[in-house]
Structures are given as structure tokens and as C-alpha cells.
Amino acid sequence: MPNGRSLVTLRDAADFITEMPREDPELTEWQAAIEALILVVELDGPTMFARIGVVRALNAGRSVSSAMPRARKKTVRKYRIA
């Protein structure tokens, strides 16, 4: 989260979205996050949908490379067949 706060429950996510400035929820990413949150709450859907929606909305302004963690490079082992 930008302010160091973490969202643990669906209520935390809903409170965070309602406390945002009016312009931010108008963005397409936040609209999708709000719809996913409503789907989870009203229809008892999978909570992963709400999580994905909020994370995508939070990372909306970032490039893909900065939003994704870097893959760890492992050394390749060489085997000899005898």
C-alpha cells in the first residue's frame, strides 16, 4: 500500500476504497476492483477475485516490470551421462 497500511479483511478494502478521493474510483481498474469486491460480498464468491482486483488497481500506474517481483536466477547444473 502506498501509505504503509495493509488490507487484511474485505472490510479494510472497502474502507480504503470509500476513503479515496472521488477521482480515483472513477478509473477503470478501481471500478473492476469494486465490482469484484461486491461479487465476493453479495454472492459469496471467491475472495481471490477481490484480492486480484485491488492489487491490479493499486499497481495500475506502474509498469509491468516494476509491479512484478524479479525472478530468481538459478545456476544450471550440468550432468554427464555415463
Is 14 domain-assigned?
Answer: yes
Is 37 domain-assigned?
Answer: yes
Report which of residues 71 and 25 the model is more confident about. Answer: 71
CB-based contacts of 33, cutoff 8 Å, min separation 6: 13, 17, 50, 53, 54, 56, 57
Q: What is the pLDDT of residues 29-57, one digit of tens each?
A: 888 888 888 888 888 878 888 888 888 88
pLDDT confidence of residue 77: 78
Is 4 domain-assigned?
Answer: no
pLDDT confidence of residue 23: 66
What residues make up the domain containing 36?
Answer: 10-62
Is 20 domain-assigned?
Answer: yes
Specify the number of domains making up the chain: 1
Is 43 domain-assigned?
Answer: yes
